[in-house]
Structures are given as structure tokens and as C-alpha cells.
């Protein structure tokens, strides 16, 4: 019996990029003046918010301190406070824009805990909907993202701008 194949060629840039990246993308991206290209949604005093280029779900963002630290115990009170304030802010923004039924949020500290970039602490916020998981990740190691990331970025950025004006 022939085995079926599911081609996920869109993953190749990620696979090859992971090995090729020099330095720290979480340190480098905010230094560039390319917020749209880098998917940066918000710049705070000690932290910034960026969309995950390889999301678990539509609207998957990360809140990241500018300072290069790998452990939450190394954050200052200001950094910790701003991360939580941004988490609350983006839960509100994503609720308004995307109407999710729930959220996952968390920090994977260290590679064995699942951190893809273990040297620079970051917090994930993932909107969730009933039925948003299916057989694809289990059988095909492929996630189905229903909206292009640049479209989601535009919607979220507009909402961020509107909320900041208030």
C-alpha cells in the first residue's frame, strides 16, 4: 500500500533559517526600523510585542523584554510588570479583533521546556477557538492557519493604534 504524502513546503524557510540565524532575533529585530516586516505590533518601555512568524494559531503573539535574559527571575519589576500589562492589553485587543473563545498564555523557559529561542525569554499569547485543533498537527506535523499573517497583523495593528489613542 502506497503511503500518502502531505507537502508542507512552506516550512522549509523556517527549517533552514533556524540553523542560519546568527545572534538573537529578539535583540536584533527591535533595533531595525522595519516594524511591519518584522511583525512588531507594539514597542513599550522595557518590552515589545511581536507576532509569531510560525504561529500555533491565528493571532499568536509574543511579549518580549528588550533585555537579553533567559530566566524570569532575572527580570526587573518594571519588566515583569510591563509584560503582564501587555498581556492584559493584547488579550483585550485580540478579543475585539478576532473574537476568540479562549487563550493559551505561557513562558517556555529553557530548551527542554519547549523554548525555541531559549536564550531570550518571551511570553506567548495564543487565541483559541472550539475546533481549532484537528488531525493535521498530529498526523501531518502541519498547522492550518486560516488567515495570512500580514492580514492579521494589519487588523491587530489598527486595533492597537485605536486603543493607544484612548
Catalytic residue numbers read 122
Rounded CA Rg of the chain: 17
- Helices 149-165, 77-98: crossing angle, 10 deg rounding: 110
Per-position DSSP letters for the chain, written without gaps between them: -PPP----GGGHHHHHHHHH--S-HHHHGGGSS-HHHHTEEEE-SSEEEEE-SS-SSTT-EEEEESS--SSGGGS-HHHHHHHHHHHHHHHHHHHHHH--SEEEEEE--SGGGT-SSTTS--EEEEEE-TT---HIIIIIS-----S-HHHHHHHHHHHHHHHHH-
Amino acid at each position: 500500500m502506497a503511503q500518502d504524502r502531505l507537502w508542507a513546503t512552506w516550512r522549509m524557510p523556517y527549517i533552514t533559517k533556524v540553523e542560519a540565524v546568527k545572534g538573537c532575533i529578539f535583540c536584533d529585530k527591535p533595533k531595525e526600523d522595519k516594524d511591519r516586516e518584522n511583525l512588531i505590533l507594539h514597542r513599550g518601555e522595557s518590552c515589545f510585542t511581536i507576532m509569531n512568524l510560525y504561529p500555533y494559531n491565528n493571532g499568536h503573539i509574543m511579549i518580549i523584554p528588550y533585555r537579553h535574559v533567559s530566566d524570569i527571575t532575572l527580570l526587573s519589576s518594571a519588566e515583569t510588570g510591563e509584560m503582564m500589562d501587555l498581556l492584559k492589553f493584547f488579550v483585550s485587543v485580540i478579543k475585539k479583533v478576532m473574537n476568540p473563545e479562549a487563550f493559551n498564555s505561557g513562558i517556555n523557559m529553557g530548551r527542554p521546556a519547549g523554548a525555541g529561542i531559549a536564550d531570550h525569554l518571551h511570553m506567548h499569547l495564543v487565541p483559541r477557538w472550539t475546533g481549532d485543533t484537528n488531525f493535521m498537527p498530529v498526523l501531518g506535523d502541519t498547522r492550518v492557519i486560516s488567515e495570512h499573517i500580514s492580514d492579521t497583523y494589519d487588523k491587530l495593528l489598527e486595533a492597537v493604534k485605536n486603543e493607544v489613542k484612548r
